[in-house]
Every structure is written in C-alpha cells, then in structure tokens.
Structure 1
Amino acid sequence: MNLRRKLLTTFGGLALLALATAGVTVWAIAQWQITEQNLQEHYQRSLLLQSVRAATFRAFKEVPDAILSDDPDAQQEFEASLKPAEEDFKRWAGLADTDAERKQVQQVRNAYVKVVKDARAAFALVEAGRRDRAFALMEEELEAKDFAQFQKLTEQAVASDQQNRSVIRGQTQNTRQTAQLVLAIAAFGTISLILLLAAYLASDLFAPLREVEQALDDVARGNLQRHLDEERADEIGAISKAFNRMVEAMGERQQVAGLAAVPVGVTSDGDGKDSTWQNLPSRVTLHRLVAQLRSRVTQLSQSNGVGDAEELAKHKQALVDQLDLLLQAVARMTEFGFPLDLNLARTDIRALLYEVLLRFQAELIERGISIELDIAPDVSYAVVDRLKLREVLSELVRNALAALPEQGGRLGVRTTVTADATALRIEVADNGKGIKQPLIERALTTTIKTAQGKRAGVGLALTKAVIEQHGGQIAIDSELGQGTYIQIQLPLRE
C-alpha cells in the first residue's frame, strides 16, 4: 500500500468516525427535541383539561343558585363561565396525537355536552316556574350522573397523560444511553486512529524524511556518493529513487563538464599528455586553466619584446590556445554544470501581462492584429521570477505573431486561477498557420545535435525549462491552418 493510500485510509476512518459522531449527535438532539416537545404537549394537555374542569365546575355552581336562591343572573354567569372552557377544550382536543387520545377527547366531549345540555334544561325549567322539576333534574341527572361521569373521564384523561409522560421519559433515557454508548465507541475509535496515525507518521514518514533531509545536506556539502534505500514501494521509495537519479546525474554532469573542459591530448607542462586532467572535477579544471592562463600572461609580459620574434609568437599562440581552452571550459560548464537560477519574488501578474503586450504594441497596430485579453478577477499576485516569466510570455507572443499573416489575424491571452486555487493558468492562442506535432516536440527539445556535439536548445525549449523550473507545466495543441493553443500552469506559492 502506497503512502497516499495509507494516509487516505487513516483519514478516511477518522472522517467516518467524525461523521458517525456528528450523525449520532444530531440524532440525539432531534430525539431529545421530539420527546421534549411531546412532554410539553402532555403537560399542556393536562393543564388545559384541568382548566376545562375548573370552568365547568364554576359554571355548574350557578345551577343550584338559580334553583334554590332564585339568582336572576345565574344563567348569564353560567354561560360566561363556559366561554373559556370552550376555548380550552378546543386547544386540548387539538393536542391529541394518537387514536386513543382522540377517542378520549370524544368521550370527555360527550360528557361535557351532556352536562351543559342538562344544566340549560334546568335553567329553562326555572324560567318556566317548574322549580321542583328543575331540582329533581339537578339531583338525579346533573349531580348523580352527568357531572360524576364528566369528572371520572377527565380524571382518567389526566392519569393517561401522566402515564404517557412516564413512557416518554423512558424513551428519552434510552435515547440518551444509546447516544452515550455510540459516542463513547466513536471517541475510542477516534483516539485509537489518532494514536495509530501518530505512530505511523513517526516511524514511516518522519524518519525517512529526516534521512532524505540529511542526504540532501550531504549532497550540498559535495558528497555525490550518498544514496538512499530504494526498497520501499510507496512515495518515499519513489523520492529515494529520484534522489539517487539526481545524484547520479549530477555526478555525470560534473564528469562531462570536466572531460569537456580540456580536450584529450592537451598537456599540462608541454612535454606530454596528462590524463589526470580528465579525472578532475570541472571546478578544479577551471581553477587549473585560470592558473595556467595567468602563468602565460606573466611570461608574455616579462618578455616585453626581449628575444627573437619566433619566441614571442610562440608565447602569444600559447596564450591564445589557453584562452580558447578556458572559453571551452566555461561554456561547457555553463551548459552542463549549472541550471537556471530563479529569483523568486511576489509579482503582479496583471502588470506583467500588460508590460509584455506593450512590447509588441507597435507591431500589433501596424499589422492590424486583433487582440483579446481576459484576466480573471481573482488573478493578482504570484511568486515567480518576474524577468524570466516575462521572457517566457514574450517568446509565446512572438511565436504567435510569427504564425499570423502579415495583415490581420487574432491573438488571445487569458489568465485564470484553477478551481482549487493552487495554480495560475496562462493561455495564449492564435488563429495562424499552426504547426505539426513532431515539430512541436522538436521545438521543445532541451538539446540540439550539431556537428560539434550537443548544445542547449533555445526558444520554446528555454521556455519549457523556465516553466518546469517554476514547478509548472506547458501544453501545446496546434492544427495546420487552424492555429495554435498554448497553456501554462504555474503553482501558486505563499
């Protein structure tokens, strides 16, 4: 399993546990809210029913007052007492959720209607002057049956609400215990994975990275014999292999530069071949050549015209030969020994694009070329080598202009930031004559074969080298007669 898969597996497990923990938490909160709402509703049901009972009882007291005390306002007070009872009854009925509760509401409602109906009948009898009949109705129906039945049903409803609240409290307790158990398991799993991740990072990632760091320090001090273990099959193993290839390439480059500095057959003292020159590092070769050149110059200056012309000419020719060797050494070492140096700095990309296009303003106007410039709003600054990137963009625009006709044509430049905000994308397109793919690959070749050997490529090859040294990529797509599209992608650094 490679490093990425290991890390993804570990972080995936942590993410799943985090999701599980969040899910259980949300579920527990939702269940708690539901049960809390049910409890509140049952408390409210009980309070409303108690209010209905109290209002009905107050209204019922007006019936004896009308029959026994001949209270003229008894019936009006009876009706006034029933108004809040009716409102509370409707609200109580609206809180019934189950079939049993709705059935209970209907039973209490029937008993309530019977009480109210018989009470109003008693008031009617009193108004008709039939007090005896009204008194009998009150004792036999209202008190003995109707009100007693109403009181019994309401007490049963209150007791039922209390029982339901006990059940809901039990459900709440079960929910709390389940959530606590799941959260404890999730916390244990999370801690275990974190400890496993810490142990893995310490032994399988940080230690190899420290070894790579030490190896790089050794190479920086000039030890090109340092190699890393390549047995690992993950990304660390790939880094080790790349490091070993880099060290081998540096050694080969130094060897080539040293061999190229002095051709075979050159003598160190004028008496014969000195093969040790070919085994010296290029920097030592350069120092020896410079020392010999100084010696030749000293000999020539000391002669100062003394001696025959033949001897003076010999010294001059030796000096010229030594200068030629030094020139070869410097050129070869520059070509093979030193990569391009970047001077990275925070650069305004917008200003850089405008500066590049202003270079070609006169030619664009003279040839009547239409230019389209599109810079996304989120494009601002990037850490790049401003001068080298300017030359890269100039080279791309220059190639595009060369592909366009003498008059007319279109050139487009667009700059955006990638969706993940990690890279800057610069696109250059034209509708010129285009180029075949093999020619594109040849143009991007970093070295060109000549009769004298190999020399560094120029143009697009240098452009590609600069972009790749920035850590970016370049892609070219062209079609004959249609035009060319070039895309550069550079990483955004802090």
Structure 2
Amino acid sequence: MRLSIFGRLVLTYLVIIAVMTGVNVYALLQIRTLAGLNTEVASHHHPEIDSAKRLLASFYEQVQSEKKYVAVPASTFLDHFDGESKEFQVVLQGLFAREASEPETRLLRDVERLQQTHLALFQAQLAEPKGQSAAVDTRFDARRDMLATQITSILQQYIGLHEARIAVGVNASHASSAQAESVTRNLVLVALLFGLGMAAVASYNILHPLRRLQATIQEMGQGNFRASLDGQAPRELRELGDTVKWMGARLQQLDDIKSEFLAHVSHELRTPMASIQEGTHLLLDEIPGPLTQDQRTTLRIMSDSSRRLMNLISTILDLSKMEAGMMEYRFVPTDLRRVADISVNKIRLLADAKQVQLVVEAPVERHWVRADSTRIEQVLDNLLSNALKYSSEGAVVKLQMTPRREEGVLYVDVSDSGPGIPAEEVPHIFERFYQGRTKTRHASVGSGLGLALARKVVEAHGGRIWVDSEVGKGTTVRFILCLTKPGMLV
C-alpha cells in the first residue's frame, strides 16, 4: 500500500523521535550508573573510613585513661576506660555488620582479637598487688605499646583498603563518564545524520514526483498532451497525476478535433480556390475579352492573394497529414545542391526587388542525402522566405552547406542579418501559428506554419533542426540530414 504524504511525514518523524529517544535512554542509563558509583563511595567507603578512624581515636582514649589510672588509681579514669571500651565494641560491631568483603572482615577480626588481648592485659595489671616492681611495669608498657602499634597498623591497613576502593571507584567513574560522553556524542551525531538522511529521503520521495509532474505539465504546454506521470508517487500526487493525465487526454481530444476541422476546412476550400485561381488566370490571359490596365492590376492582386491562400491551405493539409502520421515520403539519394538552387531561384526576383543579396556557399563536389526532394525543397522555401522577409534592404541572406564525413551528416544553414529572436521566444518558434513579437518595417504578415512544417519534415528524415539567434545580429536556422551515396537504395 502506498503511503500518503502525511503518512510519510509522520513515519519519518516517528523514526527520528525513536532514534532520539534511544539516545536519551542510553544517556540516562549512563547517568544512573555514575550515580550508583558515587552513591557507593558516599554511602559505604567514607562511613567505613570514618568508623575506623573513630576506633583509633577510641583506642587512644583507652590507652590514655589506662595510663592515668595506673598513675592515679581514681575511679573516674577507670569509668572513662570502660566507656571507651564499650564504644570501641559498638563501633567495631557496626563495622562487622556493614562489611561484606573478606579482607576487611579479616582485619576487623584481628583488631577485635588484639582489643580483647589488651583488655585482658589491663585486667591482669589491675589484679597485680600494689607496689610491684618497675620491671613488671616496664613489661606491661611494652606489651601495651606493641598491641597499640598492631591495632593502629591494622586499622591503617583497613583505611587504606577502603581508600584504594574509593580511588578505583573514582577512576571507574571517570572512565565510565568519559566513555558515556564519547558514546553519547557519537550517538547524537549518528542520530542527527540519520535524521537528516530520513528528512532528505522523505523530501526526495515528495519532491521527485512533483518535479516529474511539473515536467509532465511542461510537456503538455509544449503540445505533447499524451505525457503522463510514470513511476511511484504518494497517493495525493498520483491522484493529481491522474487528473493531469485526464486533462491531457481532454486537450488531446480537443486538439484532434481542431486538426480535423482545419484539415476538413482546408480541403473544402482547396477546390473553390483552385477555381478562383484558374478563372483569374483566364481573365489575365484575356480569354473572355480585352482588359484595361486597372482591371489587369486588380486581377494580378487577386491572383497573388489566391496563390498565397492556396499555399497556406496546402501547408495546413500537409501539417495535418504529418501529425496524423499519414504523410508519405519517397526517400531516395538526392543532390541537395540541386534542390537548393531551385529554392534560391524561386525567391531571387523577390530578393532583387528588396535589394537583398543571396549567397550560396557549398562545396564544388555534389553531396547526396537520403531525402524526399519535394519536402526538403519545401523546407528550404520556407527558411529562405523567412530570412528574406526579416532582412532589410542591402542585407545578405546566406545558404551554406557543410558536409561532415566523419559524422555522416550534412549541415545546412540559412542565415540572415535581421533583428534576431529574443531568447525567451526561441523555444516557441517551431510551434504552429507562432510568429513572435519581432516585427520589421518591411516584413509581411505570415501564417506561422512554415517553421512548424520544416521541423516535421526534417524530423521525418531522421534529422534535427534548431535556431541560433542573437538580438540585433541576425538568425541562423540550421538542420542536418544523413549523407548517402548516389544510386544507393534507401
């Protein structure tokens, strides 16, 4: 099922939103991981270190109270010693309850054992009779100091383990943070590029059919009413394309009706016009009787007008046949120089009357082309007549033929030095009845069918015709035909 434009846009937006949501979820998970590492450091390791330091402080307080009591056996010092011992046990048991790792637990057990040894040593000291020897006191102090040193060393190891774990956690947090930042940055970049790519694809899927539809409408504007929108397109554009196709079919139908009408009218006018022309010739030949000078002038005007009208009717009929594909051509090897000389001789009197010089530039040797000589003569007649019509007095009209053996074609140029054709009019000059806005003082009114007929004939010969023109410098109409050899069957 083809998606509509709205559906394609919604799908594109949903995909982009899904990608961005994935990037945000990943970033949130990384933030949660970092928060967990920080929580572990803040809620576990730091309290353990503080408790270990509290144990050290409590043990030093015990030692101080013990020394004071030994020196001055007051009950206050003994009570203070007992309170610190109990506080030491409470803090130590709290560490046991919170500690889960084996190395730290083992160190705490060693601390507990040494603490108990210290308490037993102090109790033994209390049980000794007063006035004991100095050697006994010295041994007690030495053992007490050794126990203090061991407890202090073990608690320092315990603190060092937790500080090492904090350092590892901080390093892991930094590494995880750097990795998360890098991955998030790359994901954002990929998501951005993916979003731009999706937007480009969606735009292309919409704009490409629009451009094809625009080209189809332009083809219809140039007369190709059978052009249609082919290929895949969103539903709305396909419906619009179907409407344009229906419009083209309707325009083609109207164009066929118009062509049929013109052909029918032209055919019906041909017989009476032939009768009028023949009657005018009979009068000019004074068959019915002698003519005055004014009557002869009037009849000549009538004869020229009827001849032009007959030519116009013949041109319309020929165009109608060509467009209907009913025109028959006799393609034979043709000496184009001979055909060109015939066309030039036809308009030489008119050129002399306007004081326009006709110049033919062609190679001395003959060049044969695959052509219907009658139709090519008709093309040259139209091109030379147009060049003469738009040339001022004293100008030059040039007919040039240039063979190109390596390409197998013959170039034929008809040039004038008239006013030229504006660039915006050049694409339309081969359209039927198009005469443009360029007029000259001496130019006669034409039908606008000569160039349309010339294009049909040249294209039927497998050639190509085009115009090179510059305003104020003149116009060159150029067409090409395929070279052949005399006597060759084509």
Higher Cα Rg, which structure:
2
Given the two structures, how large is their TM-score scaled by the length of structure 2?
0.42
Given the two structures, how large is their TM-score scaled by the length of structure 1?
0.42
Q: Which has the higher contact order (CA 8 A, sep 6+)?
A: 2
